[in-house]
Amino acid sequence: MEKVAVIGIGQTKFGELWEKSLKNLVQEAGNAAIQDSGVDKELIDSLFVGNMAAGSLTGQEHLAGLAADWLDIAGVSAVRCESACSSGANAFRQAYMAVKSGESKAALVVGVEKMTDVKTETVLTSLMGAGDAEWENYAGLTFTGLYALMARAHMNQFKTKREQLAMVSVTNHKHGMKNPYAQFRKEITVDDVVNSGMIADPLTVLDCSPITDGAAAVLITEESLANNGTAKEPVWILGSHASTDTIAFHNRASLVEMKSVKEAGRKVIQKSNMSHNKIDVLEVHDCFSINEIVCLEDIGFCGKGEGGKFVEREEITHNGSIPTNIEGGLKSIGHPVGATGVRQIVDLTRQLRGDGFNQINGASYAMALNVGGIGTSAVAHVLSKNL
Amino acid sequence: MEKVAVIGIGQTKFGELWEKSLKNLVQEAGNAAIQDSGVDKELIDSLFVGNMAAGSLTGQEHLAGLAADWLDIAGVSAVRCESACSSGANAFRQAYMAVKSGESKAALVVGVEKMTDVKTETVLTSLMGAGDAEWENYAGLTFTGLYALMARAHMNQFKTKREQLAMVSVTNHKHGMKNPYAQFRKEITVDDVVNSGMIADPLTVLDCSPITDGAAAVLITEESLANNGTAKEPVWILGSHASTDTIAFHNRASLVEMKSVKEAGRKVIQKSNMSHNKIDVLEVHDCFSINEIVCLEDIGFCGKGEGGKFVEREEITHNGSIPTNIEGGLKSIGHPVGATGVRQIVDLTRQLRGDGFNQINGASYAMALNVGGIGTSAVAHVLSKNL
């Protein structure tokens, strides 16, 4: 099988970008990745677009064909990949398989979402499309409501403290301070989080990632193109794994774990011949503060129920055992749904190149885990500086 | 690389299925394909869902995660693939690459669309999401309008006759007479087509494929599972290719050809070490009568501009040079958008097994070409009875 490398990265600023269209975002991130790679545009033969909801938010389907045209690479094989908030990582995974299979030599992955041009209610309704319409949407649940149920169950079962949840947001805001692309560059305190507006008890507004416009892109290639001298130092994809759980939260045996995250997170480490303690830098899906805690537990960076204390002990910061969301996470950087999984790969590639805004010195191995819905989908990748 | 085979097929009836939900359709087709394969459900490790517009038509995104749950195979890697009307073939293509790359051993592909529960205007607006919103939708174009422009240009440039367009529909209705899954099993005449209600001059209602509910599914596996004795006679995937053209029709140098179809159709024949005259049975995308004519020309089964005469000479029927849409095509079978590309594979697999409703005796090689938008996307596959 072909070895596969990330050789180009690009992204837009994340935020409320009212002056930029879906087209502007795709072009800005996509062209930046192509330019960064140093590879001739003519060599790109496939395009994978991660996007959840352009159809319901803007009326635009067929986004991959459109993006190929916008990027002036029409002729390529193009497909949109969707699995709610893990659409970006799934697009990256499909591109990886295309190159690994020999069907593509150079694949561009663009994750994008334009969310702030419509009313917030429209966005929330659209996002609930990631849940089980018949059993959750009609009962009035929102995604904050679902994750609040998870948070409350975790607090009851493991004595996780409200302040420990808040520490996730505080840490991610601190990590995002140096990131020029982040939506929010502002330090916050545990008191700020706890006293911010209540959304769904116990989650306040500062436990929640924001609604965001943005795009991120990576160019991946087979080994011969990655090593042809024109490309920057390649970052290798050591492994990819994706898994699923029931879509309805109430159908699960446990409300405090996500089987998909356990499976994707642990299998990708096996597939990559890695071990937890070799991973230097980690990206996980902090759409809500509780999710980062549960992901750390389910992947196995700490024991089940110990996530709150793990975060409190500062294990996820620079000097901790597993620096996590070191460029700010979804909370500080923002969460343009289809872009997030690709943005995680962009940030980890920067870290492995030694170009991070908030660099972990000597980072050699990195892992990303992107979650869709309430853990219905999870997609994980391990990247390495060396093949 | 792994060899890849289709070992199970399933589908629902196509039509106005008001009594069946998206869930019913996915379960019926998916379970039928699993059962047909004889493979243990536990062996399935990935799911690819072809669907264009469940988000805008029913509010349900994240359809692959949901389908995994509905089919009781949660745990698998799952992704929805979208490229407008070629979503089904693109889902099949991603599944093929997943197995070929070694990342999946057994992949289920389900194409589905539920279109008749909402107003026709809602469907038409949603379908226009496959075009260029800024330049086509706002100008009031519909897809029938776009293909009418293609038809008119073809008539002007090549003296293609109105009656030759009509012959496409007449032939497909005749072919569909034996298909128990077809939406319309009714013979029609050239007069019927020409005199039916005008939609966009010169295309009348009988030049247009209908709005349809339905699902189709195939199970594909690596060679060892395909040959393990429990599976039915496998049908091998010899090649896959996809291509794109500009999304806006007016940006093209020619209004009477589709570069994506030329590229996908011709490259897939090369990749498969095939030649046009070896193909025994062909599926092309007759969303509108003109599209079948242009596809036959662009793939190269007849010369440019000769498609009308080619159809008139009955070259696409049983005794013709290339039996096409032999089970009824989109026109007679129906066009549940995300399902169509998968349904093409289901019908060709039946033909290669010798189980066709309208069987071509001794069919050994088959080809499918699925088009998205006005040829913005084209996805092609070649299948074979023998490896």
Task: Report H helices in chain B.
Answer: 22-37, 54-58, 63-70, 87-100, 120-127, 143-158, 162-175, 190-195, 223-226, 259-271, 289-299, 307-312, 329-333, 337-353
Q: Quote the CA–CA distance of A348 and B135 in Å, as a whole number.
A: 38
Spell out which residues of chain B touch residue A75, defining contact as CB-CB under 8 Å: 243-245, 259-260, 263
In DSSP terms, B203 is beta-bridged to B200
Q: Which residue does chain A place closest to B271, by CA atoms? A: A103
User: Tens digits of per-residue pLDDT, A6-54?
Assistant: 999 999 999 999 999 999 999 999 999 999 999 999 999 999 999 999 9
**Average pLDDT of the residues in A179-184:** 98
Indicate the residue of B98, B129, B241 with minimum beta-carbon distance to A61. Answer: B129
Average pLDDT, chain A: 96
- Return averaged pLDDT per consecutive 10 residues of chain B, 387 residues in all: 93 97 97 95 97 90 96 98 98 98 97 95 89 83 95 98 98 98 98 98 98 98 86 91 94 96 98 97 98 98 98 97 98 98 98 97 98 97 95
Classify residue B239: in a domain, yes or no: no
Classify residue A62: in a domain, yes or no: yes
Question: Which residue range forms the structural domain that includes residue B23?
Answer: 4-117+211-226
Catalytic residue among A81, A85, A295, A302: A85
Classify residue B43: in a domain, yes or no: yes
pLDDT over 70 (residue A258): yes
The whole model's pTM is what? 0.98
- Count up the domains in chain B and report the number: 1
Q: Quote the CA–CA distance of A96 and B233 in Å, as a whole number.
A: 31
Task: Report H helices in chain A.
Answer: 22-37, 54-58, 63-70, 87-100, 120-127, 143-158, 162-175, 190-195, 223-226, 259-271, 289-299, 307-312, 329-333, 337-353
Catalytic residue among A154, A175, A335, A381: A335
Q: Quote the CA–CA distance of A334 and A281 in Å, as a whole number.
A: 19
Contact B77 A242 (CB under 8 A): yes
ipTM value: 0.98
* Three-state SS at B7: strand
Classify residue B64: in a domain, yes or no: yes
Classify residue A152: in a domain, yes or no: no
Q: Quote the CA–CA distance of A42 and A106 in Å, as a whole number.
A: 10
Q: Quote the CA–CA distance of B278 and B258 in Å, as a whole number.
A: 23
Lowest average pLDDT, out of A80-94, A133-147, A201-215, goes to A133-147
Contact A61 B59 (CB under 8 A): no
B44 contact partners, CB below 8 Å, separation of at least 6: B34, B73, B76, B106, B107, B108, B219
Burial, B292: exposed, middle or buried (Cβ in 10 Å; 0-12, 13-18, 19+)?
buried
* CB of A313 closer than 8 Å to CB of A320: yes
Q: Which residue does chain A place closest to B72, by CA atoms? A: A246
Contact A81 B83 (CB under 8 A): no
User: Tens digits of per-residue pLDDT, A231-241?
Assistant: 678 999 999 99
- Closest by CA to A337, choosing from A176, A129, A168, is A129
Spell out which residues of chain B touch residue A248, defining contact as CB-CB under 8 Å: 69
What pairing do the DSSP bridges indicate for beta strands B77-82 and B203-204? unpaired
**pLDDT confidence band for A199 (50 / 70 / 90):** very high
Q: Quote the CA–CA distance of A284 and A380 in Å, as a whole number.
A: 9
Q: How far is B359 from chain A (nearest CA, A)?
A: 32
Classify residue B28: in a domain, yes or no: yes
Classify residue B149: in a domain, yes or no: no
Element (H or E) spanning B77, and its range? Answer: strand B77-82
The whole-number pLDDT of residue A231 equals 67
Spell out which residues of chain A touch residue B240, defining contact as CB-CB under 8 Å: 103
**pLDDT confidence band for A152 (50 / 70 / 90):** very high
Q: Quote the CA–CA distance of B17 and B25 in Å, as a whole number.
A: 9
Q: Quote the CA–CA distance of B363 and B348 in Å, as a whole number.
A: 9
Q: Quote the CA–CA distance of A23 and A3 in Å, as a whole number.
A: 32
* CB of B305 closer than 8 Å to CB of B157: yes
CATH classification of the domain holding A101: 3.40.47.10
**Average pLDDT of the residues in A305-318:** 98
* CB of A385 closer than 8 Å to CB of A238: no
* CB of B142 closer than 8 Å to CB of B128: yes
Our answer to whether residue A241 is catalytic in this structure is: no
Higher pLDDT: A132 or B12? It is B12
Indicate the residue of A58, A63, A83 with minimum beta-carbon distance to B79. Answer: A83
**Hey, which residues of B are catalytic here?**
85, 335
The whole-number pLDDT of residue B231 equals 66
Indicate the residue of B65, B93, B247 with minimum beta-carbon distance to A373. Answer: B65
What pairing do the DSSP bridges indicate for beta strands A106-113 and A46-50? parallel
Classify residue A363: in a domain, yes or no: no
